[in-house]
Amino acid sequence: MTLAINEELLQQYPALKMIFERRSCRSFRSDPLPEDHLKALIESLRWAPSAGNRQPWRFYIVTSEQKKRDLADAAFGQSFIIPAPVVFAVVAVPEESYDRYGDRGRRLFCIQDTAAAVENLMLAATALGYGSCWIGAFDDSAVSQVLSLPSGHQPVAIIPVGRPAGYGRRTERRPSSETVFMVDD
């Protein structure tokens, strides 16, 4: 992996190292997570930033083999979900953002807030030595049914977490010259 960042910084600042080490994992061992690790992952979700501290999210933790199968089916057959010992489903509650921010809260802020929680989860998983994968390709109504979600709750992501059984090839990133623009006077 080629990074435009000083290796010394990565060693000095572990959070930076986690950002650059994190990658999608689609092959999991079934070893269970120790309770303290699971609690740390849950706390990483809860402590994500949210607009106005509305915390418009719900987190569903799935360990049942059948429910994981059902989620894999709802995710268009992404069966690599099933062996992961734990699967997190991250759900937005748009009305909790709407109450303070109106339509922008409903449409955007609740999604941004849940996305921040997902990133926290994935970085915490990396820090603990686990693999994870952000799955957004799924049938919303099928996931809602699997999780028995209340009306108005919107599934945003499915995140399997577990010890990696292996990783695919690392994907490259577009150069910053194509994606980063400095704006000044």
9 within domain boundaries: no
148 within domain boundaries: yes
Residue 4 has pLDDT above 80, yes or no: no
176 within domain boundaries: no
Q: ∠ at Cα 57 (56, 62), nearest 5°? A: 170
6 within domain boundaries: no
> Which residue from 63, 72, 58 is spatially nearest to 137, judged by alpha carbons?
72
Question: What is the structure's pLDDT at 113?
Answer: 98
Instruction: Using pLDDT thresholds of 50, 70 and 90, give the confidence band for residue 175.
Output: confident
Residue pair 39/128 in contact by the 8 Å Cβ criterion: no
pTM value > 0.85: yes
Q: How far is CA 158 from CA 14, 17, 176, in A?
A: 26, 24, 29
10 within domain boundaries: no
Residue pair 125/69 in contact by the 8 Å Cβ criterion: no
89 within domain boundaries: yes
Q: Which position has the token pair 């429910």?
A: 67
How many structural domains compose the chain? 1
Residue 2 has pLDDT above 80, yes or no: no
pLDDT in tens, 72-93: 999 999 999 999 999 999 999 9
Residue pair 78/72 in contact by the 8 Å Cβ criterion: yes
Q: Give the domain CATH number at 37.
A: 3.40.109.10
- HSE-up of residue 64 (Cα within 13 Å, Cβ side): 7
178 within domain boundaries: no
pLDDT in tens, 132-159: 999 999 999 999 999 999 999 999 999 9
Residue 1 has pLDDT above 70, yes or no: no
Q: Give the range of the structural domain holding residue 42, as residue numbers without chain letter.
A: 31-165
91 within domain boundaries: yes
Instruction: Using pLDDT thresholds of 50, 70 and 90, give the confidence band for residue 10.
Output: confident
pLDDT in tens, 26-74: 999 999 999 999 999 999 999 999 999 999 999 999 999 999 999 999 9
